Amino acid sequence: MALKVLLALVIALQFVFVPWFLKAMWPEKNKKSLALKMVCAALFLFTGILAQKISANTTPYAFWMTLGLVFGFIGDFFLHAGSKMGYYIAGVMAFLTGHCCFITAFNGASEKLLPGPGFFEPGEIIAFAGLVLAMIIFVIKKKLRLGPILIPTFVYASVLITMMIKGCSLGLRAFLSPAYGVAALLPATGAFLFFVSDVLWANVNFNNNKQNRPMKNANIITYFAGQVLLACSMLVIIPA
């Protein structure tokens, strides 16, 4: 019971620190906003650890999800700590690694719930192709000049899309399974919000929206909400 109360408190603290962080980071990043962001990141990481403890979830799903949260914590630091290219690359690589961890967790759990024909099923292939095509159309329509980061951006976006699709696929399979209920949609919702957050982040940084405060706020809110939901998914996704 004590761990459940602590989990509720940790989640509730996000409603305090995320708005505080949003206020501190405007109009520019600073040491205070970095400290507050790391508190928010520590809270979603702690949420995952508590969820794992409460559910006694020692499955590979819990291992990979927790590792993904750790890399999210690392990525949060580097993307906010400095403006030099080295910080940016380190942050993006941390998030890319985190997405790969989530993909591994989602795919492994999906195969446990309902074994399929392979890593990508027909419906997932169609969804992936559609989203990649939409991304290409958006880049062309907005005339975004990505220059030397074009290929890395495409790689990152492809991994992000895969993460979202696999998360939604797992959520749907768990929801349709007799052993799970509505709470099984936690990984799907978390993965989708993470995807939305990264799309907003790209729109802020590559589409001349750095002064768009509502968009920046939406980016941060969807990001931390997604991470918390992914962390909480370890309470219910316990594939045998």
Domain extents in the chain: 15-21+28-235
Residue pLDDT, tens place only, 146-205: 778 888 889 999 999 999 999 999 998 888 877 787 888 999 999 999 999 999 998 888
Can you tell me the mean pLDDT for 96-113? Answer: 93
Q: What is the Cα–Cα distance from 156 to 73, expressed in whole angstroms?
A: 18
CA distance linking residue 77 with residue 57, whole number of Å? 28
Tell the burial category of 103 from Cβ atoms under 10 Å away from its Cβ (0-12, 13-18, 19+): buried
Q: How far is 159 from 3, CA to CA, in rounded Å?
A: 34
Residue with the larger pLDDT of the pair 102 and 1: 102
User: What does the pLDDT look like over 198-236, one tens digit per residue?
Assistant: 999 988 888 878 889 999 999 999 999 999 999 999 999
4 pLDDT exceeds 70? yes
CB 186 within 8 A of CB 48: no
- Picking from 60-64, 95-99, 112-116, 157-161, which range would have the lowest pLDDT averaged per residue? 112-116
Contact 201, 157 (CB under 8 A): no
Residue 223 has a pLDDT of 98
pTM to 2 decimals? 0.94
CA distance 159 to 138: 18
d(CA 65, CA 13): 21
Give Dmax (Cα) for the chain. Answer: 54
User: Angle 186-206/85-113 helices, nearest 10 degrees?
Assistant: 160
Q: How confident is the model at residue 118 (pLDDT cuts 50, 70, 90)?
A: low
What is the average pLDDT score of the chain? Answer: 92
Q: Is the pLDDT of residue 117 over 70?
A: no
- The answer on pLDDT for 240 being more than 90 is no
Helix (H, G, I), strand (E, B) or coil at 116: coil
For 74-91, the pLDDT digits (tens) are 999 999 998 888 999 999
Of 47, 169, 60, which Cα lies nearest the Cα of 120?
A: 169
pLDDT tens by residue, 30-43: 999 999 999 999 99
CA distance 49 to 47: 6
Residue pair 186/232 in contact (Cβ under 8 Å)? The answer is: yes
Q: Where are the alpha helices (DSSP H) in the chain?
A: 2-24, 31-55, 60-81, 85-113, 122-141, 150-176, 186-206, 213-232
How many whole angstroms separate alpha carbon 90 and alpha carbon 80? Answer: 11
Which of the four pLDDT bands, split at 50, 70 and 90, describes residue 97?
very high
